[in-house]
Homo-oligomer: A and B are copies of this chain.
């Protein structure tokens, strides 16, 4: 029998229903519409809240939660991405399996408290620190999935393929935990991981060739062949740092997006993460092949990557999703507003994204354009059917407190603008995944245990971390 959730606002796609009801049965939405006293007599009344789809965080490296603050501190005096990466590698090598789980649980808890109900975990920690695989080569992947299950998040574990140190580079001992000896061993591990979680509806598996820098064209091609058979989502770091472009060109004679396309991995089941530096050819390929784009503006700012050309991408109908990536902050609402705000700063005008979308679809509001990036587009990127409070979709939703100082005074017509541009994690009151509550009244039931576990890990790290 369906459970009815009533609230002052219910958001179904881009429509805001006043005094709405979401009806849930067996973990899925079965109906959405205005409250009807007769049909919804026993509704749970969430009062002055907005029920909206849970946020889909399409790109996360959970263990990097342990780097917050520390990375800033340890890289003082150094000013590039690559010095940051050295610190990240040290952290990656410092954590044992139990610690990987504890740190991941902390990241996932923070996500849930910020309104995220699904995470796409781009997971590249595979082996023991000396590079020897664990007895089960998916040991650490299982640990990360266990952390998501502890918190209750829906997860797509994107198992990373890492084959080499970089474009024509000698092996780097700091990457030993990431590197699989060959692509067939990698695909074997993916298949085993997928089989292990086949019957758990909140866990899905995908593939993630790390980047054209970290795997060869041969690997990309084999992964593409496997994708055709298994229909798995594939994520890849596309062009985050400008330095990668030249190095890629030197090896392949083409830029990364073209290489990815040529190797068969630019398609509607694939996602380009950090599509920061795109030439016209790359934009055309994206329009033609229809991959998702995952933007991580807070991380891309923190690492000095550059500004996503989101306007040009929207003008080509790209589906942009968001990710918390390096976890320097976990605030999907800031991620969302920054996509637009960065363009306003660059072009020194307002409503940039809506303007680009207008050219194809007629008058739009900034919020109309940003809103799907937080939910539907993320689900598309991960090959999931969550991301909308509409019949047939999983009941992944959050209740936002309309009396929180950030949202007070909103109304149906401005709710999406308030959520896309003025929202803060504090206003997240409850969260459900497949109809089950994971956050209630602003707290997670395992919060104390997870925070304590994380603090223990951080307490044992050495001085240099």
A156 interface residue per 8 A CB criterion: no
Most chain-B CB neighbours within 10 Å: which of A68, A75, A109, A403?
A68
Q: Is the CB of A451 within 8 A of B405?
A: yes
Number of residues from A at the complex interface, CB < 8 A? 82
Q: At the interface, is chain A mostly helix, strand, loop or mixed?
A: helix
Contact with B along A45-72 (1 / 0, CB 8 A): 0000000000000000000011011101
Most chain-B CB neighbours within 10 Å: which of A106, A329, A447?
A329
B-side contacts of A73, CB under 8 Å: 365, 367, 413-414, 417
Q: Is the CB of B341 within 8 A of A301?
A: yes
Distance, CA A363 to CA B284, complexed state (A): 45
Q: Is the CB of B350 within 8 A of A69?
A: no
B-side contacts of A366, CB under 8 Å: 72, 76
Chain A 430-452 residues near chain B, CB threshold 8 A? 447-448, 451
Q: Kindly provide the distance from the CB of A169 to the nearest chain B CB, expressed in whole angstroms.
A: 22
Q: Is the CB of B76 within 8 A of A330?
A: no
Q: Is the CB of B403 within 8 A of A351?
A: no
A328 interface residue per 8 A CB criterion: yes
The 8 closest A-B pairs by CB, nearest first: A110-B405, A301-B341, A69-B418, A69-B414, A69-B417, A426-B426, A409-B458, A72-B417
Q: Give the B-binding residues of A (Cβ under 8 A).
A: 65-66, 68-70, 72-73, 75-81, 83-84, 106, 109-110, 113-114, 241-242, 298, 300-307, 328-331, 334, 337, 341-342, 344-345, 347-352, 354-355, 358, 363-367, 403, 405-406, 408-411, 413-415, 417-418, 420-426, 447-448, 451, 454-455, 457-458
